[in-house]
Amino acid sequence: MSPRALRGVFSLNTFLAGMLALYVALALGLENPFWALMSVYIVSNPLAGTVRSKAAYRLAGTVVGAAVAVVLVPAFSNSPPLLSLALALWVGFCGGSAVLDRTPRSYAFVLCGYTAALVGFPSVDNPGQVFWTAVARVEETGIGILCATILHSLVLPKGIGPSLSSLIRRFEADAQDLVTQMLNSRGEPPASLAYKLAGDVTALYLMATHLPFDVSDYQTKSRETRALAERMSALLPLVRTVGDRLQALRRSGATLPTDSEALIRDVSDWVASGPVAPDQRADALLARARALEPSLGQSPRWDELLAANFHARLGELISTYRECRALGGHLADGTPIPLAAQPRPASTAFGALHLDYGMAFWSGLTSVVAIALVCAFWIMTGWSNGSSAAMLTAVFTTLFAAMDDPAQQIQRDAIMSIAAAMLAGIYLFVILPPLDSFAMLALALFPFLFTTGLVIALPQFARWGYPVLMATLGAMALQGTFRPDFAHFANNVIALVAAPIAALVVTRLVRSVGTEFAARRIIRLAWADIARMTATRRMPTREAWTTRMVDRVGLIGPRLGPESARADMMGGTLQELRIGLSVLDLRQLETASDPSLRRALAILFAHLNRHFQALSRGRRIEPSSALLRRLDTAIRVAGRSEAGPARRMGLLALTGLRRNLFPQAAAPARKVQA
């Protein structure tokens, strides 16, 4: 089916599910049957697997949030201000937690927060009914979720599989382009290419969360999908490292051996040949890379260290690229996975996406302050619809908490709410009064709901469609007995407009940040992570560190417009990624038997810690000459230590660290400096 036809099927399915949910809720005599209709549209998505996962998380969040309201309302029933504060704190806690969980599971935290508000605030004046209000809310939400899940799963369901396959193919094509550009020394690839690759890695991680709920053949492939994302994460820094070492060797004036130049051409040809290239060719290339790596005798020269680092990382690149191909082929057509590419049984990479505890705190605080102010106004004025305003404020401050500047979306919603109120008034006082059956009601709602269903099926327009849809249905507040009351409608509209305005004002004052500020904050958090790695023995795994830093690259890209700014920020983040990997390798040498090496590394870590601590606190400083001397000293001491795998790993890590921190520095002197 064409994309337009698929959007039509999605909109029709959602409309039918919504009408079924509304009919069942009306037949059961539930308190607010329109919540069942709204729940259908909230969880609906063109992809059936996403509908199922959102349904599961929404239902779980609704049940927990309702249970919290049942506990809090009786406990503070004698003090409405304390009850309002308790509910505001709970909403703030859940909103902050949702920001920290960047997977689709964050939806459950959002629902935990504002469901407690939806149940608790209407019960402030009637605490004895809180249990039945909570039960009704769970029933209304559950009916909507069940109807949406059934319709989207049974009527022409669209699986995640095609989207996942397209994402993998796009990554393979972009990665092939990046690798060949680096190996052929055609200059630095555009930053947008690195951004696309990093963004695809994060998208693959997040998509894997939906797979267990999917209707395609990928339903049981979440482990393999995460394994592919993990290998893809490792590929990006390897490509940059190999390209940097190759350029350093060629700029040093040394002539690469003929065998090395031939290897570079053959690896480039192998990558360009696509997934049809046999594994035996990769094995031969890997063996050649290892054979060409210098042995690194006592006190190796700088050009020998560069050559060893280049060939070692080139071998890792070949191996990782082959594993990406193998996992991609398995997901595409079920080909067996080689042993080396098998998913790791206890990978920690998936849980290592970028987290910002500071922004989570400010997001939670925004919810608390906004809700507290609305509740204070409600209590002081005795406003009859104050509870509705408090509920909606909780919704607005939690739904968009993960954005850099939620105020923009809240302002858009406020404008859309005014337009939606006018549309709801036309329905309530012009279109609906003559109707005398549910069939006529469904027919009257069809043009509006079907059109908005088409709009929300397009991601670029969904942020406009959802506010109009939710505000219109909320202002109409369809009930089992239809008695249009203008005073009640006006109160609903005032609450519907006042809530986003209150959320907007507080968000502007407390939470909003610019995109460039957010991007630079991400880099500062990376610097803080490196500083911690040089001062503590609690180390992340290589997979976790790589995943987090590649995710940060993907987060920075959309926040910056000009290519030059994006290249600077992304290049710096990838550089920090490689520095962190070198630090992880060096921390394994702290138990080395050579006391002089342990002492040299301890001094080096102290200098690194001071440098990155200063950067994380906002001081824009260049690496000092003292740090360079300590690096060179550590290289010489490691070069004279006992031969073995640990010595080789340490020399490679120190070489990489020096290239990343001091790319323009001359080769280190042979004499050891204290």
> 583-624, pLDDT tens digit by residue?
998 988 877 667 888 899 999 999 999 999 999 988 878 889
29 three-state secondary structure: coil
Tokens describing residue 63: 């049940």
In this model, does residue 674 exceed pLDDT 50?
no
Read off the pLDDT band of 567 (50, 70, 90).
low
Q: Interior CA angle at 164 toward 212 and 280, to 5°?
A: 105
Closest to 618 measured CA to CA, from 527, 510, 508: 527
- 126 exposure class (CB count in 10 Å sphere: 0-12, 13-18, 19+): exposed
Residues 549-565 pLDDT 10s:
888 888 887 776 555 44
State the average pLDDT for the chain. Answer: 85
pLDDT at 671 over 70: no
Euclidean distance between CA atoms 13 and 155, whole angstroms: 7
Of all helices (H) and strands (E), which one includes residue 161? helix 161-183
So what's the pLDDT on residue 451?
94
pLDDT of residue 15: 95
- Between the two ends of the chain, the Cα-to-Cα distance in Å is 72
Q: How far is it, in rounded angstroms, from Cα 388 to Cα 366?
A: 18
Residue 116 — pLDDT band, cuts 50, 70, 90?
Answer: very high
Asked whether residue 633 carries a pLDDT value surpassing 60, the answer given is yes
pLDDT tens-digit map of 418-431:
888 889 899 989 99
| CA angle (349, 352, 355) in 5-degree steps | 165
**Helices assigned H by DSSP within 477-514:** 486-510
48-82 pLDDT, tens digit each: 777 788 888 888 999 999 999 999 999 998 888 99
Mean pLDDT of 340-346: 64
**Better-scored residue on pLDDT, 482 or 178:** 178
| Residue-wise pLDDT tens digits, 487-510 | 878 888 888 888 889 999 999 888
Residues of the chain with pLDDT > 70: what percent?
Answer: 92
Q: Can you give the pLDDT at residue 442? A: 94
- What is the arithmetic mean of pLDDT over 527-553? 87
**pLDDT at position 672:** 43
How far apart, in whole angstroms, are the C-alpha atoms of residue 200 and residue 194?
Answer: 10
- Residue 216: count of CB within 10 angstroms of its CB: 19
Provide the token pair at 252: 């040093």
Whether residue 350 is predicted with pLDDT greater than 50 in this model: the reply is no
Report the distance separating Cα 466 and Cα 413, nearest Å.
9
Q: How confident is the model at residue 223 (pLDDT cuts 50, 70, 90)?
A: confident
pLDDT of residue 147: 92
Query: In terms of C-beta distances under 8 Å and separation of at least 24 residues, what long-range contacts does 517-521 make, across chains too?
Result: 517/404, 518/404, 518/559, 519/555, 519/556, 519/559, 519/560, 519/569, 520/569, 521/356, 521/358, 521/359
DSSP string, 433-473: TT--SHHHHHHHHHHHHHHHHHHHTSHHHHHHHHHHHHHHH
Distances (CA, A) of 29 to 15, 488, 571, 615: 21, 21, 60, 61
Structure tokens at 240: 């940059």
Average pLDDT of the residues in 100-115: 86
In single-letter form, the type of residue at position 547 comes to T
Number of C-beta neighbours around residue 430 at 10 A: 10
| Interatomic CA distance for residues 180 and 187, integer angstroms | 11
For tokens 């059109």, the residue is: 451
pLDDT at 566 over 80: no
Question: Per residue in 615-633, is it b (16+ CB within 10 Å) or e — as a string?
Answer: bbeeeeeebeeebbbbbbb
Region 216-242: what's the mean pLDDT?
84
Structure token digits, residue 179 = 């690798």
Average pLDDT over residues 222-243: 87
The Cα–Cα gap between 110 and 118 comes to 12
**Residue 188 has what pLDDT?**
59
Q: What is the pLDDT of residue 673?
A: 43
User: For the residues 154-175, what does the mean pLDDT come to?
Assistant: 82
Query: Under DSSP, is residue 663 helix (H, G, I), strand (E, B) or coil?
Result: coil
Judged by DSSP in three states, 649 sits in helix
Query: What gap in Å lies between CA 519 and CA 517, rounded to an integer?
Result: 5
Is the Cα dihedral 355, 609, 644, 306 positive or negative?
Answer: positive
Mean pLDDT, residues 655-662 taken together? 92
